[in-house]
């Protein structure tokens, strides 16, 4: 029978405890079993949580739930490395230590220590984001193994079926086995490229949360929070010397996240940057963003994250929309276009250009892009163009662009905003 | 064990003074019926259970609760030719029990109905059985 005090623990059970412990335990068990046994590690963790829930459901939550979980996981790990079937397969150095009674206890203590588990999560990021694995699968595998998302939760986040996500995971695990992808922080000569790949996947995760492209929710906070959590694990690692990009990426995510609550009103409608109540911007997140931006400025290498974070910082530091320093932002976009020639960057640059040189100049820029591939079916291209036409008083053209944007948008909140703009065009005789 | 004896004494006094009855709530589930939940959902479920049990404890209605291991044997047959049958965990199993006290069967049923096992698992059943008390013998 549990003591009564264990019921007071309920509010103290940190949100997402199970999810985060899942990510940690899968990482440490993958180190023990080897990345070719990734699925085994995932199954053992699922079993561990199930055992916890089956016992805690009757006896209450123990006073120290995390050590309880770890103890169960340790026992299961010991049982597996001593199993005949497992012994016959390629075993890791960690598994060897666990097989001998002389070393097992000390090895378990070390393997399950906080700093080792943090490093294992970092190793796991490099494994999940290995270039041999396709981009889609990298994201799915990261969410499954490091963030403890279930198939249905990943499927919901990317609006696809569980079957589809499962296929991606199966393919990813298969690649890890076939290509013998290791579970380690890459050697210095490969580190920069591999770190770029990890950051790219994490930033994709953040963006999917920040700019949800479909579905009823504008912002999926959990994806953003997970992206930040993973990047912070990288930022404290001693195996990575040059963290300038890591800090820049964190700065960018925190600065963007600071505007979350102002981007959507109580009715779930989008509030544009011009109309946002800046008192709602989260000062604490913003301060973290600025602090990381300072740390990012440690060497002369300027990455895309540096520029994007600096742009976000200019928005954050403007007292109101009218006083935004658009000249500096346009200069940053010019620099960004040199690093990244994608039409999406050109689209964003056009917004800054319209503020500096007026809507007609920006319209001319955008019209040059109209046949480029992602833009010609991208709702934001047409909504931006529509906005510029409105500013230039060309309401009939604005109406056409906005109608196309509404047809291409998959987000109800966005469509609603566009319809309001369309109504203004109608009132102006379009 | 001392802890348990103390509990028992307290329970009996309680029963006598308030004329409460004891009920055994047997939790029957289809194997590990929570296995399909994600870690997040498992944690949400756990929170509900803790709130549920916290409420029962505060009102003094929970006497005991224990999970049962998902293994064991089933003994059947007759004396002289008893069989230790295999325990089949894929079918319905008794996953655990709650020993509660209530004023009536109706109240015990209400307590059982509020168990979060019905919200998150599938195919769970709870058997509500009054504990038989023979006056003057074990009362």
Q: Which of A99, A100, A120, A102 is nearest to A111 (CA)?
A: A120
Q: Which of A324, A252, A315, A311 is nearest to A285 (CA)?
A: A252
Among all residues of chain A, which has the CA nearest to that of B98? A58
Summarize the confidence of residues A190-197 as an average pLDDT.
94
CB of A1 less than 8 A from some CB of B: yes
Query: What pLDDT does A285 receive?
Result: 94
Least confident of A323-332, A355-364, A405-414: A405-414
pLDDT digit string, tens, across residues A307-317: 999 999 999 99
Query: What pLDDT does A300 receive?
Result: 77
Provide the shortest C-alpha distance from residue B3 to chain A (in Å): 9
**Which DSSP helix (H) or strand (E) runs through A18?**
helix A17-33
Query: What pLDDT does A71 receive?
Result: 95
Q: Would you say residue A11 has pLDDT above 60?
A: no
pLDDT digit string, tens, across residues A207-266: 888 876 555 555 578 889 999 999 999 999 998 989 999 999 999 999 999 998 888 887
State the Cα–Cα distance between residues B135 and A134, nearest whole angstrom.
73
Query: What pLDDT does A372 receive?
Result: 83
Task: Please state, in angstroms and as integers, the Cα–Cα distance from residue A136 to each residue in A102, A126, A141, A149, A166, following that order.
Answer: 44, 15, 9, 15, 12
ipTM: 0.71
Query: Is there a contact between A277 and A262 (Cβ–Cβ < 8 Å)?
Result: yes
Query: What pLDDT does A88 receive?
Result: 65
State the Cα–Cα distance between residues B75 and B82, nearest whole angstrom.
7
Q: Would you say residue A150 has pLDDT above 80?
A: yes
Confidence tier at B84 by pLDDT (50, 70, 90): confident
Query: Is there a contact between A427 and A398 (Cβ–Cβ < 8 Å)?
Result: no
**Which DSSP helix (H) or strand (E) runs through B92?**
strand B92-102
Task: State chain B's mean pLDDT as an integer.
Answer: 81
State the Cα–Cα distance between residues A201 and B6, nearest whole angstrom.
58
* CA–centroid distance for A278 within its chain: 25
Query: Is there a contact between B99 and B65 (Cβ–Cβ < 8 Å)?
Result: yes
Q: Spell out the alpha helix ranges (H) of A112-161.
A: 114-128, 135-141, 151-157
Name all domains of chain B by residue range, CATH numbers in brackets. 11-130 (3.30.70.1060)
Provide DSSP, A28-54. Answer: HHHHHH-GGGHHHHHHHHHHHHHHHHH
Confidence tier at B73 by pLDDT (50, 70, 90): confident
Least confident of A56-70, B75-89, B100-114: B75-89
Please name the residue that has the structure tokens 């180190």.
A31
Looking at chain A from residue 40 to 79, which residues have their Cβ under 8 Å from any Cβ of chain B?
Answer: 46, 49-50, 52-61
- For residue B96, the cross-strand partners are B27, B67
Query: Is there a contact between A245 and A195 (Cβ–Cβ < 8 Å)?
Result: yes
Q: Would you say residue B7 has pLDDT above 50?
A: no
State the Cα–Cα distance between residues B52 and A10, nearest whole angstrom.
11
pLDDT digit string, tens, across residues B95-131: 899 999 999 999 999 999 999 989 887 788 999 999 9
Task: State chain A's mean pLDDT as an integer.
Answer: 88
For the entire predicted model, the pTM comes to: 0.80
Which chain B residues contact residue A41 at CB under 8 A?
A: none
If one counts every other C-beta atom within 10 angstroms of the C-beta of residue B13, the result is 10
Least confident of A31-35, A91-95, A243-247, B114-118: A91-95
Query: What pLDDT does A405 receive?
Result: 94
Query: What pLDDT does A90 receive?
Result: 64
Report the topology of domain A337-430. 1.25.40
Inspect the interface and report whether the beta carbons of B32 and A60 lie closer than 8 Å: no
CB of A226 less than 8 A from some CB of B: no
Q: Would you say residue A318 has pLDDT above 80?
A: yes
Confidence tier at A429 by pLDDT (50, 70, 90): confident
Provide DSSP, A253-282. Answer: HHHHHTTGGGSB-TTS-B--GGG--GGGS-
Q: Choose among A17, A21, A59: nearest Cβ to B67.
A: A59
Query: Is there a contact between A193 and A183 (Cβ–Cβ < 8 Å)?
Result: no
Query: What pLDDT does B115 receive?
Result: 93
């Amino acid at each position: 029978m549990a003591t009564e005090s264990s019921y007071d623990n309920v509010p103290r059970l940190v949100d997402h405890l199970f999810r985060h412990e899942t990510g940690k335990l899968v990482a440490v068990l993958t180190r023990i079993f080897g990345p070719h046994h990734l699925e085994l590690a995932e199954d053992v963790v699922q079993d561990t949580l199930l055992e916890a829930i089956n016992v805690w459901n009757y006896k209450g939550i123990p006073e120290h739930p995390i050590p309880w979980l770890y103890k169960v996981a340790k026992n299961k790990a010991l049982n597996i490395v001593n199993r005949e079937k497992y012994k016959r397969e390629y075993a890791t150095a960690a598994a060897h230590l666990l097989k001998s009674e002389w070393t097992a206890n000390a090895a378990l203590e070390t393997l399950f220590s906080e700093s080792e588990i943090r490093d294992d999560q970092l190793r796991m990021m490099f494994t999940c984001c290995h270039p041999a694995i396709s981009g889609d699968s990298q994201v799915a595998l990261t969410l499954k193994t490091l963030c403890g998302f279930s198939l249905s939760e990943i499927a919901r986040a990317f609006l696809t079926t569980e079957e589809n996500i499962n296929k991606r995971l199966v393919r990813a695990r298969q690649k890890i086995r076939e290509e013998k992808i290791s579970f380690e922080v890459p050697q210095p000569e490969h580190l920069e490229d591999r770190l770029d790949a990890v950051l790219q996947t994490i930033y994709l995760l953040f963006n999917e949360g920040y700019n949800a492209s479909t579905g009823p929710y504008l912002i999926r906070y959990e994806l953003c929070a997970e992206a930040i959590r993973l990047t912070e694990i990288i930022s404290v690692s001693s195996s990575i010397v040059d963290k300038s990009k890591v800090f820049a990426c964190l700065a960018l995510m925190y600065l963007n996240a600071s505007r979350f609550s102002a981007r959507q009103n109580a009715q779930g409608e989008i509030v544009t940057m011009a109309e946002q109540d800046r008192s709602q911007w989260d000062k604490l997140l913003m301060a973290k963003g600025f602090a990381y931006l300072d740390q990012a400025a440690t060497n002369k290498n300027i990455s895309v994250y540096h520029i994007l974070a600096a742009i976000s910082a200019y928005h954050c530091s403007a007292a109101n929309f009218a006083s935004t320093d658009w000249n500096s932002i346009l200069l940053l976009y010019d620099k960004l276009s040199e690093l990244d020639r994608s039409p999406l960057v050109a689209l964003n640059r056009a917004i800054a250009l319209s503020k500096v040189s007026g809507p007609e100049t920006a319209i001319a820029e955008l019209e040059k892009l109209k046949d480029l591939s992602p833009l010609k079916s991208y709702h934001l291209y047409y909504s931006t163009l529509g906005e510029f036409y409105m500013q230039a008083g060309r309401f009939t053209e604005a109406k056409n662009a906005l109608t196309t944007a509404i047809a291409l948008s998959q987000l109800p909140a966005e469509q609603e905003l566009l319809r309001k703009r369309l109504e203004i065009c109608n009132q102006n005789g379009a | 064990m001392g802890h348990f004896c103390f509990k028992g004494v307290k329970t009996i006094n309680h029963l006598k003074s308030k004329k409460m009855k004891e009920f055994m709530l047997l939790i029957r589930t289809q194997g590990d019926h929570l296995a399909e939940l994600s870690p997040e959902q498992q944690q949400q479920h756990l929170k509900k259970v803790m709130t549920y049990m916290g409420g029962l404890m505060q009102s003094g209605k929970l006497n005991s609760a224990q999970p049962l291991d998902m293994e064991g044997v089933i003994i059947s047959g007759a004396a002289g030719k008893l069989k230790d049958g295999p325990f089949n965990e894929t079918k319905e199993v008794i996953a655990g029990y709650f020993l509660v006290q209530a004023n009536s069967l109706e109240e015990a049923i209400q307590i059982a109905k509020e168990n979060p096992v019905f919200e998150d698992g599938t195919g769970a059943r709870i058997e509500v059985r009054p504990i038989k008390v023979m006056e003057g013998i074990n009362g």
